[in-house]
């Protein structure tokens, strides 16, 4: 459904050239749900905007839904759906009117547009809301309407940019359910960008981890976590620097990292390593408040690949913001 090679995009700003995407290769098969996972500024939106023809690549080639991205952008546009980060619903328009209008923009007859609008409203739990003005909808309802607007022309491939940002946990899980069901029932292919680990983990068949404009790993969430192996230990300690020194000196303890929740490290087998770790911290007089042992998460995968935790990466390092001075 998508084949991209060496996709790149730079922005020229007053400070210089920002290389937002630096050569992305991508293969997405029909019917897959693929997540581009990365921190703020990693280049996810730029990649999506290129694949949806909204932005011309500075370099690289791609075929999207059977059409060449650069030679036939209209062909691509006709075959895909795109739901932007802030959605496309008109705040003062009524739900069904907006859906019908969107269908008409895609060249559907009034009757066909209305039929599809009603079907989508039913599928996406918008029944009974057809007469409501969009700005009065809840966040979850609004995102479902955005999704419906992106699907009215029945594309085989849909791109969703950060679909659940600013939704509460229940509405997020509900939207994932809808997206999965649309895939099951309509067989659509979904490419989604996210900086939420749980979203990539529970929604996607395959995750492409994006950092500083590059894909640094790809695989199913389980494959990525399995490849890492071992267990993660999270230690809430009082003297963080001493704890780090102590852990780094222990054989079999790797990737010691200070995060917002405490000191994190990886060990081959948590059950065996834990007593050794606790004894060493005690011997170094490092007070321990709590310890958690768990299987690796996608955050551990990101940490392993980049040396930074995903949740901190956006703030700690302006990924992609490496500015090359203008010649
Ligand atoms: N129009 C623009 N002009 C200049 N720089 C830009 C522009 N759009 C994006 N960038 C920069 O390109 C880099 C990648 O941005 P992009 O929006 O693609 O990242 P992202 O991973 O989607 O982040 P987010 O999750 O915050 O949307 C960032 O450093 C960003 O500041």
The per-residue pLDDT for range 165-181, each reduced to its tens digit, is 888 888 899 999 999 99
* Residue nearest atom 1 in ligand 1 by C-alpha distance: 11
Which atom of ligand 1 is least distant from the CA of 47? 18
Cα 271 to the center of its chain, rounded Å? 33
The pLDDT assigned to 320 comes to 40
Contact predicate 214/23, CB 8 Å: yes
The pLDDT assigned to 203 comes to 94
Q: Which residues of the chain have pLDDT under 70?
A: 311-327
Rounded CA separation 177/156 (Å): 18
pTM over 0.95: no
* Those residues with Cβ within 8 angstroms of residue 227's Cβ, 6 or more apart along the chain or in another chain: 219, 301
Q: Which residues contact ligand 1 via a Cβ below 6 A?
A: 11, 13, 18, 20, 38, 40-46, 195, 320-321
Distance from the alpha carbon of residue 318 to the mean position of ligand 1, in angstroms: 10
Give the residue, out of 46, 216, 311, with the most ligand 1 atoms within 8 A of its beta carbon, to mutate for a pocket test: 46
The pLDDT assigned to 326 comes to 43
The pLDDT assigned to 315 comes to 42
HSE-CB for 88 with a 13 A CA cutoff: 17
Structure tokens at 239: 């003297």
The pLDDT assigned to 40 comes to 85
* Those residues with Cβ within 8 angstroms of residue 4's Cβ, 6 or more apart along the chain or in another chain: 24, 25, 26, 27, 51, 60, 61, 62, 63, 64, 69
């Amino acid at each position: 459904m998508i084949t991209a090679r060496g996709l790149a995009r730079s922005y020229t700003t007053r400070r210089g050239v920002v290389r937002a995407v630096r050569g992305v290769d991508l293969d997405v098969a029909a019917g897959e749900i693929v997540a581009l996972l990365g921190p703020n500024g990693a280049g996810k939106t730029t990649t999506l905007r290129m694949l949806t023809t909204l932005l011309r690549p500075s370099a690289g080639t791609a075929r999207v839904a059977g059409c060449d991205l650069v030679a036939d952008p209209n062909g691509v546009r006709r075959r895909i759906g795109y739901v932007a980060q802030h959605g496309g619903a008109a705040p003062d328009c009524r739900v069904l009117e907006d859906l019908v209008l969107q269908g008409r923009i895609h060249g559907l007859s009034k009757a066909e547009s209305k039929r599809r609008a009603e079907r989508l409203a039913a599928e996406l739990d918008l029944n009974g809301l057809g007469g409501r003005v969009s700005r009065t909808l809840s966040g979850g309802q609004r995102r479902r309407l955005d999704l419906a607007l992106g699907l009215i022309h029945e594309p085989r491939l849909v791109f969703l940019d950060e679909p659940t940002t600013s939704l509460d946990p229940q509405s997020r899980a509900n939207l994932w359910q809808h997206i999965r069901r649309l895939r099951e029932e309509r067989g659509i292919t979904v490419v989604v960008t996210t900086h939420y680990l749980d979203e990539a983990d529970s929604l996607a068949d395959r995750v492409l981890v994006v950092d500083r404009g590059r894909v640094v790993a790809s695989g199913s969430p389980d494959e990525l976590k399995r490849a890492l192996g071992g267990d993660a230990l999270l230690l809430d300690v009082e003297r963080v620097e001493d704890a780090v020194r102590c852990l780094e000196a222990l054989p079999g303890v790797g990737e010691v990292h200070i995060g917002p929740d405490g000191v994190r490290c990886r060990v081959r087998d948590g059950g065996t390593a834990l007593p050794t770790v606790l004894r060493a911290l005690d011997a170094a007089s490092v007070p321990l408040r709590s310890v958690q042992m768990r299987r690796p998460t996608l955050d551990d995968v990101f940490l392993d690949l980049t040396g930074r935790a995903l949740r901190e990466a956006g703030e700690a390092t302006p990924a992609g913001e490496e500015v090359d001075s203008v010649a």
